Copies of this chain bind each other. A is one copy, B any other.
């Protein structure tokens, strides 16, 4: 990477940084230089923060969220609606819904979507856990907040089938024109879905 101008310590650092999403070889070099120029204010704190998080962050065995406690702080929060489970693909989606304050219920992180192409089957996702929670608990509603992709929708249909007879209502987040979005820039699929799902004004 940096040729023989830099020690192996720097090359090792650059190679690991380049494996982060959003950083390529060039930006990893810039990041390494940035770190080395701010050893005490950024570099050592970052090393400590990574170690700390690696030691203390774990996956909630109930919902699949990442937290420093298991069950996670959302699962144990009694102010939240324990009768609603919002199903998401990834932890990042859970965080996005939390930032938006869009869900006052619980969550369930699948860990991805069914995908014949990538060889992801039902057993590779945390679907059994969702069925267990829905069957055993007093769940009124399961909201499917999976992505509006082909794989996401296939996963939603599969989950729908699995939850049949659970007594819970299964719903899905609305698909349509994004708030602030301009019709002119939207794809045909979104426009068709938005027209089809039109509601009284």
Contact = CB atoms under 8 A, between A and B. Distances in A.
Interface string A43-64: 1111101111110110000000
A35 B53 contact: yes
Interface stretch (A19-27, A116-124, A163-171, A187-195): A19-27
Give the residue among A29, A52, A95 with the most B Cβ atoms within 10 A.
Answer: A95
Interface string A165-191: 000000000000000000000000000
A12 interface: yes
Contact of A57 (B9, B47, B54, B92): B9
Nearest to A41: B19
Contacts of A44: 50-51, 54
Closest 3 CB pairs of A and B: A7-B68, A22-B27, A47-B50
